[in-house]
Homo-oligomer: A and B are copies of this chain.
Amino acid sequence: MALSHAILVCLTERPMSGYDLAKFFDTSIAFFWKATHPQIYRELKKLGGQGYVTSAEEVQSGKPNRFVYSITDAGKQALKDWSREPVALPLIKDDLLVRLQAIEYVDKDALREQIRARLAAHREQLGQYHHIRDVRFSDGKPAPEDLGKLMGLELGIQYEQGWIAWCEGVLQRLEGT
């Protein structure tokens, strides 16, 4: 169970509603985890039951009321306990690479198109990372609490650059085959 911890991590940044969290998971720092809103709402209730978060109803006019969740001291302790558990190696799990293994059995035109689309997606993602880095970490020395976020961002940048280079090479070698 790691979604619960990912949510707790998000809530260390600031209190958020389920709706906020869903957007946060969609766009922001959480490139390395994803969740749909039903998952998040369910998980928030579970976390509330465990005492790791508290919720406060925020009355709004015009829009439906929000339930804003904050991490509790018990939640922070749970994060620290979790942080001592060993982490698993993430695996790649990519349809594209599976298809490449059976290159003689797939539709090569479709494959080339998929790689081109993938390349575009990685370039787009890289652009987003660069943008975040520029607006958030433009000055040389990040605050200590931001260091981890910067390093995560740097991993993302390197990761996308690696994929981009690989896609370009693959496309060249697939030309005319």
Q: Are A83 and B111 closer than 8 Å at their CB atoms?
A: yes
A66 part of interface (Cβ distance < 8 Å): no
Q: Are A173 and B147 closer than 8 Å at their CB atoms?
A: yes
A93 touching B94 in the complex, CB below 8 Å, given contacts A83-B99, A148-B102? no
Complex Cα gap A2–B173 (Å): 26
* Chain A interface category by residue count: 35 or more
A34 part of interface (Cβ distance < 8 Å): yes
Q: Are B90 and A92 closer than 8 Å at their CB atoms?
A: yes
Looking at chain A's contact residues, is the secondary structure mostly helix, strand, loop, or mixed?
Answer: helix
Closest CB of chain B to A158's CB: distance in Å?
A: 5
A148 touching B6 in the complex, CB below 8 Å, given contacts A92-B31, A162-B159, A166-B154? no
- Neighbouring B residues of A30 by C-beta, 8 Å: 98, 101
Closest residue of chain B to A124, judged by CB? B89
A64 part of interface (Cβ distance < 8 Å): no
Q: In the complex this chain forms, how many copies of it are found?
A: 2
Complex Cα gap A173–B91 (Å): 25
Which of A15-23, A39-47, A54-62, A114-122 touches B? A114-122
- Neighbouring B residues of A2 by C-beta, 8 Å: 95, 98
Complex Cα gap A85–B117 (Å): 12
Q: Are B32 and A104 closer than 8 Å at their CB atoms?
A: no
Going nearest first, the 9 A-B pairs with the smallest beta carbon separation are A103-B148, A83-B106, A100-B148, A32-B92, A32-B97, A9-B102, A87-B95, A90-B94, A84-B110
